[in-house]
Structure 1
Amino acid sequence: PPPSHTHNLLPYLFLIIKNLNKAINMKILLQIYKRALNNYPILTQTIQTSILMGAGDAISQIFIENKGYKEYNLLRTSQFCTVGFCFLGPTLTVWYRLLAKHIGMKGSLVTVKKVALDQFLFAPFCIGMLLTVLGTVQGQPPKETIKKLKRDYTDIMIANYKLWPAVQLMNFYVVPLNYQVLVVQCVALSWNTYISWKTQSQSRNVE
């Protein structure tokens, strides 16, 4: 079998990570991050969501689709970053703050109420909007976006309920408000990878 294109990119990735570790003092970086999170919570969480959504698409292209340097679709990654910055990041941040304001911050019953609202009210809306916004950013005609919604929505919602209720139970119960979006987006690296693969694999099937 032909060698995987992934192996062509791995040395470059490891080299970049190694050089970044040398160049950046992680302790100072964490201090800057905490300060930004306290002073500009919505903007900071929006930027981190954008970065992590792009990372999810990159993982999908490199490790699942086995794309090499020449085949890598940088535009697609930038589209995921755009959706994270313009839609998902601010939406998640505002939603969690609304939950904290109207439901409360701590306690078992508060956590259960938050998870119920998050998974049965917010998640169906957010996933539908995410697929719609992604389709729009990627230049799909409205009819094609609706067709993909009908085809993909149920599968993605089923996958959502296998992962996110347990994550959100822990997140709402243990994690401080300012870090809840970060926890979600770190777990969502695998979720964003799945969304990227799912939407792109369906696009290839349509073609």
Structure 2
Amino acid sequence: MSFIYRLSKIAFGKKYLFYTNSGISFILSGVADIIDQSYEKYSGKRKEWSPRRTFSMCIAGLCSGVVCHHWYIYLDKRLQGTNIKTVMLKIVLDEAICSPVYLTVFFTTLGFMEGHTIQHSLQELRNKMWKIYRFEWVLWPPAQFINFYFLPTQVRVLYVYMISLIHITYTAHVTHDGD
């Protein structure tokens, strides 16, 4: 067995899956913010990279990644199987339940990290959620179909966060638009 294969078996095994998913969420949220800040710098909206903003995005991603980790485990225990009806139900539940929770955790954590009050963070959520939520309804149903139909539970957060590079970059852009 190769080293990478053995490492992936350990990282995506039950014992360390929470830590793997949390780390993936942390890192990819930072990468998405760096992509957005690079775009802002290229377009003249930003003069320099803000490491503090990237760190705040990492922490917000970490916290919302914890939500995703537990959500996918719960969803797979409650709705087993990969038939079309089950997959479609998972997609609807994911968008109707998890997505608003994910966005609330993301916005409140980001607000806390940036020194805002909970009231300010919730107002930001109200102001920007619909724009992000509409984008989610375009991006996530096809991506989640692949996720729920083809992939095992232990790689769901990895897959979701790979797709999330698009989503989080967009969210970072919407969240920090006007900063």
Task: Note whether the superposition's TM-score is higher than 0.5.
Answer: yes
Task: State the percentage of identical aligned residues.
Answer: 26
Checking the alignment, whether the CA contact within 8 Å between 2:59 and 2:110 is kept in structure 1 is no
Shift of 1:64: 3.8
Pair 1:32-2:1 in alignment: no
Checking the alignment, whether the CA contact within 8 Å between 2:41 and 2:48 is kept in structure 1 is no
Shift of 1:110: 1.4
CA distance in 2 between partners of 1:91 and 1:159 (Å): 20
Aligned to 1:77: 54
| 1:119-177 per-position Cα deviation (integer Å, ceiling 9, x unaligned) | 11211222123112211111113342233222111111111111111111111000111
* Equivalent position SS for 1:106: coil
Aligned to 2:105: 129
Structure with max Cα Rg? 1
Within a 5 Å distance, the mapping from 1:54-93 to structure 2 comes to 54-66=30-42, 71-85=48-62, 87-93=63-69
Shift of 1:58: 0.7
| 1:36-80 per-position Cα deviation (integer Å, ceiling 9, x unaligned) | 21131111111111111110001111134338xx81111111111
Within a 5 Å distance, the mapping from 1:175-194 to structure 2 comes to 175-194=151-170
Structure 1's consecutive aligned runs of 4 or more residues displaced over 6 angstroms after TM superposition are none
Unaligned runs of 5+ residues in structure 2 are none
Pair 1:149-2:125 in alignment: yes
Checking the alignment, whether the CA contact within 8 Å between 2:36 and 2:173 is kept in structure 1 is yes
Pair 1:105-2:87 in alignment: no
| Aligned AA (1:165) | P
**Cα distance, 1:115–1:138 mapped onto 2, change above 3 Å:** same
| Aligned AA (1:35) | I
Aligned to 1:18: none
Shift of 1:30: 4.6
CA distance in 2 between partners of 1:123 and 1:143 (Å): 20
CA distance in 1 between partners of 2:58 and 2:131 (Å): 23
TM-score (norm 2): 0.89
**Cα distance, 1:126–1:179 mapped onto 2, change above 3 Å:** same
TM-score (norm 1): 0.78
| Aligned AA (1:45) | N
Aligned to 2:18: 42
